Amino acid sequence: MAPWLFLAVSVFGALLTLNAYVGQRRTGPLVMFSFMLGWGVAELPLHTLALQLLGTLAFAAAGAFDAAPGFWGLLISLFSWTALAGMVTQARKADPIFEASLSAVLGPDYRSEIDADLNQQADRVSPPPGLAVNPFRLSRPEVIRHTDIPYVENGGKRNQLDVYVPRAGVENAPVLLQIHGGGWTIGNKHEQALPLMNYMAAQGWVCVAINYRLSPQNTFPDHLVDVKRAIAWIRREISSYGGNPDFIAATGGSAGGHLTAMAGLTGNDPEYQPGFEEVDTRVQAAVPFYGVYDFANHFDLQPSKTMRGWLGKSVLKKDPVQDIADFRRASPMHRIHPEAPPFFIIHGSNDGLACVEEARHFAQSLSRVSQSATAYGELPLTQHAFEVFHSIRSSAAVVATGRFLAWCLSQERAKNERAKNAGSD
């Protein structure tokens, strides 16, 4: 019995490895199943390998190699383990990919344009571990979190935020706004981007993670209105936490990537600021991770034809044919303009939940129109939500995002200094 059971487990393990390499993107209901099975394997291949080795030892003690099926299973496992080790090599390509993406847009010497104090802060803080025994240990001792702060009066738990600040305190620090994902229907502020927020807060940034109203109970643009309300709260209150309300960068993944891009492209749009139209809701930089950029699917890039219908039913509550103009208006792809802030768009080639083709098109379109820098980093063999916990790719993404934001902040400082000098002449 043990040899045959080991053979079955070995085949299942090999299929998990195969799925991590060629995740399903066009097979309807299997897409979510493929994502859930491939997510951890692709980002934690050595952990997966260690678990499989321990299982193999347990099967060996149970007599799995007393018959031929056990040896067949071992042969299959050896091929799978070799492929898992190869995933580490693939993951290590993330850092040079990001560096090439930033250098191509910001210039080969862009690091020299980052202010000395920001470089010193980055050098002083250790980057997130690429390989960690416990990849889910996400907090840092030098960072504290203030939790469940309301940013809308009588708004309830969905209109609360957390603030991450250096334990030693800070003054006039740049602000990073984190917008969680979850298909506009689920998710929470304490679940995502923790490696990034803790890393940036350790460097002296103030990070703000928000909840927002969710569908289907609420209808777009309620989600975006809440993002704008959170920005308005930052303008009013963040100085009491040591933050500078004049520099706000936005980031988020999946639905949060969509909302990040929309926040970057709709600053001060009164449609999304009911009752607080006078507040400046512009952001100075945007870093969307694996976002959805075209609700209308105008360019027919989405592998699945069901997303537009689902968005119409659950998120916009409108007909995707009769009300197609509203789908376009809710899409970053159709809100591009020359005054957009700098963008760093990050996506994985194996993403089964938000198609990479759409991210490529959005990045290309934005770079042609925007007067600001638009960088695009695409990671091979990378699934959705890859940077939620510590991994090699997650560490590379966090460090690259930190460099990009430091460059944006340096550029903003230089612009403000030029304006000050011009005003004094």
Of the candidates 200, 156, 149, 157, which has an alpha carbon nearest to the alpha carbon of residue 178? 200
Q: Is the peptide bond before 221 cis (omega within 30 degrees of 0)?
A: yes
Asked whether 297 and 308 are in contact (CB, 8 A), the reply is: yes
Asked whether 286 and 251 are in contact (CB, 8 A), the reply is: yes
Dihedral angle of Cα 96, 101, 105, 107, to the nearest 10 degrees: 0
Residue tagged active-site, from 34, 80, 254, 367: 254
Residue tagged active-site, from 384, 390, 395, 410: 384
Q: Would residue 146 show up in a list of annotated catalytic residues for this protein?
A: no
Q: Would residue 298 show up in a list of annotated catalytic residues for this protein?
A: no
Q: Would residue 361 show up in a list of annotated catalytic residues for this protein?
A: no
Residue where the block lists tokens 């890039």 = 301
Asked whether 160 and 229 are in contact (CB, 8 A), the reply is: no
Residue tagged active-site, from 10, 326, 351, 391: 351
What residues are annotated to the active site? 254, 351, 384
